[in-house]
Structure 1
């Protein structure tokens, strides 16, 4: 009974105090009237066992699971619940307003039989669209929970990949195997906490999706060839955070016209590459606070033919045991790039790419992953690798910057590699530039060709074992500012720096960390306005040598 002398009505604060515990017990927040409590609606739960799913790992539960999804969607939305058990299934279609919840003890296991899979209805054909779970034109779709989606991909291994690499064009490729997840033209898609493993093909393919949020997902995908992690094509407003990816092929491929993408606080390992970009209009992408380890085939790889690529930022990244470690290749001509539109109107470009706070250790050659059961066929050009910036003819990479970058290389490069002056004009894969004899790049730290607007600030290159190549090669580099460059030298290398037909270069505060034969080799008649202003060069036996028509008028050296 309320004391009438105090108040004829409960105050809002007093009423909230009396109802707050029961309200919370109902399981969520609600809009609460100050004068009358309102009942909180209970979200509908669709337990797949109620629709006939057995969960014994042997009975095929496809029909039952799909029935639960369809019922949830027809009712306007809710949660399809995967309880404890192993639920064997073929192709499933996810739909709008459905939260697909995997309990911690629940596993959705792909059938080992090809007959239990279909192509996704409405998913464009091409590059394989046989699939385990998919959605088309869905909105407000979520996959969540601590459970597992297992593609049973080893059952589809036949020793063949899809043959979509450079020059292969998919000829005689193995496409008839299911991707784990495909989402096509979906909006407000959320993937939280699930463990995804053992796909027969790519793990997650997102095609022309918008507002994508991926958080806390773990991917382990190393049972078949072309075992990608995330594979995006022409998506917008994508945010990936707190994920762990171990796969066999590209860990996070972004093909086509991807825009407004953030990737942060993740760890990655793979045989091939982590962040791979190519084709279309790919713009406004930020990668930060990521760990990359045991990755070969180049962790950050931007390879494009006719593309418009700009405004990429890579910051606070640690790389441990990698090859590459960064490769940007640009030809300005059509390339063999998968996904999305590869052609752009007007002259293509790659520009405004920044690398900040990078720490990397680069191994001499790829090392087999013990948990990948098939041979990986390492390329000659992957040995003794370096950072590669490679454009050609009348095409340039523009406004590329490296700030606070420290890379330790294994070393071991040879004089034969250092003497490679006729570098092939190949951009489809970074290592393809270096595959021809004598193999490997002519620099141990950075090779840059056809770059305009290059900045190096507080960059340090070292090696563990003697390397007979220059630390840096600039070939037709224009408008470069290099400050605080620290390089380990070698008395067996022809020079520490090699500059070919470049102009408007300013070096300040350069440091030679160990003895070298020659500080700078200047080559070619087109060198112009090159300045080396101050630094520590006492460990360089000879300061400059000229060849190929280069002369002293093109260089200003102040020690």
Structure 2
């Protein structure tokens, strides 16, 4: 028995001894002797291919915040790639770099006190090889046509973006005249990458966008932090044409779009994240944006439009936004759909080749407080332009011409507005046929929308259930204005009215709309105004409208035949 135990014990010791050297190599902080081997041309033991750690200091990098380490860091990445992948380690220190390229099967690990710091010199940067030039492609760190790329660890990537501040932006926003500033590095670009993982690290001070993730698939982002407010166009995430993207547990504070989803992004989830920006949080443009779920997010101090959809040649459908808190925002939700472009034959022919639509949108469990006008963030070191139409904002659903926004539901929504809108705003009826940006709709004086809660034009299949709209100061505008809304159900609406407003809800050119169990929270002149001869199939069913002087009033040829009223 003792002999058997001794043999077993010896076997275990022998086994541990046999694996001890590789195990240390795998879990150690550096790849011992790696730089010497690289110089002498000796190959690493092939048994360790794909499992080595390459410390950038072993390649000559110095973390003194002064030495340019681009060549050293790139050499570590290149050898890691050649030896079937592994981990490139950034130890404690500030390592200055210009443009570097990540490659397949390489994990860039940022140790707790490790920082990659962007060079302040323009000549140290270049365009990413193979990265399209749209919005500029000068970059600090990039990967193109790569797979299994990771950036992990609790260290920092700092773009040193203040060194590139000129006071000029890229002029790609609404009503821009071109001539933008593109000659500055993005922090990171990933183009046509598969199986991309970003975890735990801190990203800050980009000279341009923080992340540009383009035409990638299988993207997982977990627990990263972005603080990007030193330059114009400081986006957080900027996605184009990506699939199977999952973002969780992230904190983003930026100056421009926090999570732009342009083009044909599909199968995207965002959950358990917090955001703040001067511009938009979730921004969508044209393309096939489909099957996107956003949930359990905190949005605060966002003085643009937290959820913004501005689409033309779009096939946008199946978007859900649930369990979202918005604290101190303007323009909480803005949806614009202009339909196919008519600017030139090429655009027109492309636009008519397939149908366009914006449909199947769900908003559920949203609590928002809306301020009257955007303000500058104290930590953004320059003034940010405030557009006239950003004053006294509301939820906007705005389709143009013969186009419709279809199948939209708002359930369990509670929005508190600052209020204070004037009678001049309330009298505004000639709403421009524009949907480029949510606030450009309201730019012509008097600035601001004619409703304080929701303005909807050209919408089919609209559902409002358990929606509560309130203001802090009396507002002369209606809470809801519907213009050419069809097939609409409103259940359990609780809304503040005002004696300074001529009505609380106004319908123009609307059909087949049913309001049931509505409750007027404060005294008002009228609950519902029906405006014009073309309204039909309306129903007001029950509810508590005791605080209205009149339940329904009629204007511009509207008659009682347009509505059925049941006590």
Query: Shorter chain as normaliser: what TM range?
Result: over 0.9
SS of residue paired to 1:101: strand
The aligned residue for residue 261 of structure 1 is 268
| Aligned residues: CA RMSD | 2.4
The answer on 1:251 being equivalent to 2:258 is: yes
The aligned residue for residue 396 of structure 2 is 388
- Give, in angstroms, the shift of residue 41 of structure 1: 8.9
The aligned residue for residue 162 of structure 1 is 170
- Give, in angstroms, the shift of residue 283 of structure 1: 0.2
- Give, in angstroms, the shift of residue 345 of structure 1: 3.8
- Give, in angstroms, the shift of residue 297 of structure 1: 1.1
Q: Distance in 2 between matches of 1:417 and 1:476?
A: 20
The aligned residue for residue 436 of structure 2 is 428
Q: Distance in 1 between matches of 2:328 and 2:414?
A: 14
The answer on 1:59 being equivalent to 2:74 is: no
Q: Distance in 2 between matches of 1:73 and 1:59?
A: 24
The answer on 1:273 being equivalent to 2:280 is: yes
The aligned residue for residue 40 of structure 2 is none
Q: Deviations over 1:376-429 (max 9, x none)?
A: 010111111000000011100000000000000000101111100110111111
Q: Deviations over 1:312-364 (max 9, x none)?
A: 0000000000001000000103399xxxxx96842210000000000000001
Q: Distance in 1 between matches of 2:485 and 2:259?
A: 30
The aligned residue for residue 298 of structure 1 is 305
Q: Distance in 2 between matches of 1:42 and 1:329?
A: 49
- Give, in angstroms, the shift of residue 3 of structure 1: 7.0
The answer on 1:351 being equivalent to 2:342 is: no
SS of residue paired to 2:79: helix
Q: Deviations over 1:140-164 (max 9, x none)?
A: 0000000000000010000100000
SS of residue paired to 1:327: strand
The aligned residue for residue 464 of structure 1 is 472
Mapped contact 2:63–2:94 kept (Cα < 8 A): yes
Q: Distance in 1 between matches of 2:547 and 2:353?
A: 51
Unaligned runs of 5+ in 1: 30-38, 337-341
SS of residue paired to 1:46: strand
Unaligned runs of 5+ in 2: 28-46, 344-349
Query: 1:261 and 1:344, CA in 2 relative to 1: closer, same or farther beyond 3 A?
Result: farther
- Give, in angstroms, the shift of residue 40 of structure 1: 9.8
Q: Distance in 2 between matches of 1:344 and 1:269?
A: 38
SS of residue paired to 1:87: strand
TM-score, normalised to structure 1's length? Answer: 0.93
SS of residue paired to 2:389: helix
SS of residue paired to 1:447: strand
- Give, in angstroms, the shift of residue 311 of structure 1: 0.1
Q: 2:201 aligns with which of 190, 194, 214?
A: 194
Q: Distance in 2 between matches of 1:9 and 1:260?
A: 56
Structure 1 residue runs of 4+, over 6 Å off? 7-10, 22-25, 39-42
The answer on 1:69 being equivalent to 2:77 is: yes
Mapped contact 2:50–2:84 kept (Cα < 8 A): no
- Give, in angstroms, the shift of residue 550 of structure 1: 1.1
Q: Distance in 1 between matches of 2:65 and 2:2?
A: 60
The aligned residue for residue 323 of structure 1 is 330
SS of residue paired to 2:132: coil
Q: Distance in 2 between matches of 1:366 and 1:189?
A: 36
SS of residue paired to 1:66: helix
Q: Distance in 2 between matches of 1:348 and 1:102?
A: 44
- Give, in angstroms, the shift of residue 23 of structure 1: 9.0
The aligned residue for residue 289 of structure 1 is 296
The aligned residue for residue 213 of structure 1 is 220
Mapped contact 1:307–1:343 kept (Cα < 8 A): no
The aligned residue for residue 181 of structure 1 is 188
SS of residue paired to 2:230: coil
- Give, in angstroms, the shift of residue 2 of structure 1: 5.6
The aligned residue for residue 455 of structure 2 is 447
Q: Distance in 2 between matches of 1:126 and 1:534?
A: 55
How many residues are treated as equivalent by the alignment? 538
The aligned residue for residue 402 of structure 1 is 410
- Give, in angstroms, the shift of residue 167 of structure 1: 2.8
Q: Deviations over 1:471-492 (max 9, x none)?
A: 0000000000110000011000
Q: 1:513 aligns with which of 521, 525, 550?
A: 521
The correspondence of residues 75-114 of structure 1 with structure 2, limited to 5 A, is 75-114=83-122
Mapped contact 1:305–1:335 kept (Cα < 8 A): no
- Give, in angstroms, the shift of residue 547 of structure 1: 1.3
The correspondence of residues 139-150 of structure 1 with structure 2, limited to 5 A, is 139-150=147-158
The answer on 1:500 being equivalent to 2:500 is: no
Q: Give the helix-richer structure, 1 or 2.
A: 2
Q: Distance in 2 between matches of 1:51 and 1:335?
A: 56
Mapped contact 1:511–1:536 kept (Cα < 8 A): yes
Mapped contact 2:50–2:85 kept (Cα < 8 A): no
The aligned residue for residue 125 of structure 1 is 133
